[in-house]
Chains A and B, each alone.
Chain A
Amino acid sequence: AQSVTQPDIHITVSEGASLELRCNYSYGATPYLFWYVQSPGQGLQLLLKYFSGDTLVQGIKGFEAEFKRSQSSFNLRKPSVHWSDAAEYFCAVVGYSGGGADGLTFGKGTHLIIQP
């Protein structure tokens, strides 16, 4: 079965500084990988996704992520964070069985705090 690990429960970054959120996955084949963001009291919004091809993918709000098969990682980055980026971030992988998708497996999330 697939799994996702987000090693950092909380990360604090100063406004304007760069950001990297870590994600490691376990999956036998080429994974479909996602990053979602959740603001307090809100649903989840898709930031970006990786299916195949270029290992550096661009998303919304200035985020990017790099897929590294050798490290089983899909880390999220942003060159300069804004106070509005404070939120919970989830990495996820699609699971498959019987030829069809059977839902997303999520990491437990990383809570991003932005210091002024």
Chain B
Amino acid sequence: DAGITQSPRYKITETGRQVTLMCHQTWSHSYMFWYRQDLGHGLRLIYYSAAADITDKGEVPDGYVVSRSKTENFPLTLESATRSQTSVYFCASGSRTRGYEQYFGPGTRLTVT
């Protein structure tokens, strides 16, 4: 089915471990985004990508790494997880032709112990 998927949906990891969150979209949207959602902060942009091999930092990029070798995938890696990275992570995709409206995945709930 067309859409945007995220995996895993739930993840518990320990401080210091590397974690990769996956995002896959089937619309061939040029833009993809990663947000984190925390109580009191709403959603904040971590990284975004305008096209394959083009990525840029958002509001809260520290501690995260992204790559985009294929248009449909946009993985987010926490190189050394910290408790402050406990959050719900949302991936989204969008296109310039639709005014940059974004479509969101179901989210990944990450807990760092």
**Residue contact A44 to B104, C-beta cutoff 8 Å:** yes
B42-A46 in contact (CB<8A): no
Is there contact, CB below 8 Å, between B107 and A43?
Answer: yes
A92 to B56 Cα, complex, angstroms: 20
Chain A residue nearest in CB terms to B40: A108
Q: Which residue of B lies closest to A48 (CB)?
A: B101
Q: Chain A contacts of B56 at CB under 8 A?
A: 102
Q: How many residues on the A side are at the interface (Cβ–Cβ under 8 A)? A: 22
Main SS of the interface on chain B?
A: strand
Enumerate chain B residues within 8 angstroms of A102, measured Cβ to Cβ: 45, 48, 56, 58
Contact with B along A100-112 (1 / 0, CB 8 A): 1111111111000
Q: Which chain A residues numbered 82 to 116 have a C-beta less than 8 Å away from chain B? A: 90, 94, 100-109
Name 16 interchain pairs, CB-CB below 8 A, sorted by A. Answer: A32-B100, A32-B101, A36-B104, A43-B104, A43-B106, A46-B103, A90-B43, A94-B99, A94-B100, A101-B94, A101-B100, A102-B48, A105-B45, A106-B44, A107-B42, A108-B41
| Apart from A44-B104, A90-B42, A101-B48: 17 A-B pairs, beta carbons within 8 A | A34-B102, A42-B107, A43-B106, A43-B107, A44-B92, A46-B101, A46-B103, A49-B101, A51-B99, A94-B99, A101-B96, A102-B56, A102-B58, A103-B45, A103-B48, A104-B33, A106-B42
